[in-house]
């Protein structure tokens, strides 16, 4: 029997548009309704619309002021560094012997919450050490063409290195506590933190099982964010920053754990 309370869900959240905040609030409420333990890394702004809910609902909460940088790409990078650095520290610090699975997911993926049980089932049943949520072809095709182009390329690269071809970049993934040490081994606060532990564990021979999840198109508010970026080149620049970190982390993981 799957016991939800044996699972810690680690998520990253930040204050944003009302629509984005509503989705994050739905995620937090959904996680609590399913009786998961929630550990959140949250960046607030002056309005602090979500801060109270995050504090009340999370076992661990790191609240940091939102960096103020005029350049949008530099601002996005600073925000990511704060969130991902906190995420790495939270997961690396899990030492509770009752924890059987650790899940990472972004705070805006409220519709994914019911699928967490599917993601963690192979781990809780002892059939896998780590799993990853892979988008179905139909779901993937609904994302912006620039994002599809970049992510297909990075998925092919990682699959070529690991020998396992799947969707590595949707986001949600789950680990057994045996994988926690790989988070502590990664010292950078960038998007490599979601890939280094995964590739390291695969390189070391831990059991890995991709889990295809049907549906889950890009959230509507993210489409608005894409329009705020104003042009495909700007969007591509941000995706490039993210994926360069992921590629570097993949190379590092393979080199250090060969």
List the domain range (segments joined by +) for residue 98.
Answer: 4-256
Model pLDDT, residue 230:
46
Going by the DSSP 8-state scheme, the letter that residue 219 receives in this structure is: P
Sign of the four-CA dihedral 184, 256, 120, 244:
positive
Pick from 177, 19, 188, 9: which is nearest to 105 by CA?
A: 9
- For residue 199, give both structure tokens: 């590739």
- What digits encode the pLDDT tens for the residues 111-149? 899 999 999 999 999 999 999 999 888 888 877 777 788
Q: How many structural domains is the chain composed of?
A: 1
Strands (E), the chain: 7-14, 37-44, 60-65, 101-106, 130-135, 173-175, 208-213
From the CB of residue 5, how many other CB atoms can be counted at a distance below 10 Å? Answer: 12
Rounded Cα distance, 132 and 120, in Å:
9
Model pLDDT, residue 229:
47
Pick from 84, 23, 31: which is nearest to 56 by CA?
A: 31
Q: Which residues in the chain come in under a pLDDT of 50? A: 1-3, 225, 227-231
**Domain at 189, CATH number:** 3.90.550.10
- What digits encode the pLDDT tens for the residues 160-183? 999 999 999 888 999 999 999 999
pTM score above 0.95:
no
Return phi, psi of residue 209, to 5°: -135, 105
Model pLDDT, residue 228:
44
Please enumerate in sequence order all residues whose Cβ is within 8 A of that of 178, keeping only pairs 6 or more positions apart, or say none: 129, 206
Model pLDDT, residue 47:
65
- For residue 200, give both structure tokens: 């390291």
Model pLDDT, residue 258:
79
> Which class for 2: exposed (0-12), middle (13-18), buried (19 or more C-beta within 10 A)?
middle
């Amino acid at each position: 029997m799957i016991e939800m309370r044996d699972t810690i869900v680690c998520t990253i959240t930040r204050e944003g548009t009302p629509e984005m905040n509503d989705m994050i609030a739905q995620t937090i409420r959904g996680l609590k309704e399913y009786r998961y333990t929630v550990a959140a890394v949250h960046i607030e702004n002056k309005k602090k619309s979500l801060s109270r809910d995050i504090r009340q609902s999370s076992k661990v909460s790191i609240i940091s002021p939102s960096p103020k940088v005029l350049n949008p790409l530099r601002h996005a990078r600073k925000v990511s560094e704060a969130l991902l650095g906190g995420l790495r520290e939270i997961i690396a610090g899990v030492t509770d012997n009752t924890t059987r699975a650790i899940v990472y997911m972004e705070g805006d993926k409220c519709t994914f919450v019911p699928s967490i049980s599917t993601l963690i089932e192979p781990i809780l049943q002892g059939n896998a050490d780590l799993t990853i949520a892979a988008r179905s072809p139909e779901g993937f095709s609904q994302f912006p063409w620039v994002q599809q182009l970049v992510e297909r390329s990075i998925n092919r690269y990682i699959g070529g290195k690991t020998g396992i071809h799947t969707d590595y970049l949707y986001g949600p993934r789950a680990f057994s506590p045996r994988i926690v040490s790989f988070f502590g081994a990664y010292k950078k606060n960038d998007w490599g933190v979601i890939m280094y532990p995964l590739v390291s564990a695969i390189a070391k021979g831990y059991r890995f099982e991709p889990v295809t999840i049907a549906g889950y198109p890009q959230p509507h508010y993210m489409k608005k964010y894409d329009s705020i970026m104003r042009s495909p080149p700007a969007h591509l620049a941000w995706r490039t920053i993210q994926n360069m970190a992921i590629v570097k982390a993949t190379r590092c993981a393979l080199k250090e754990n060969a």
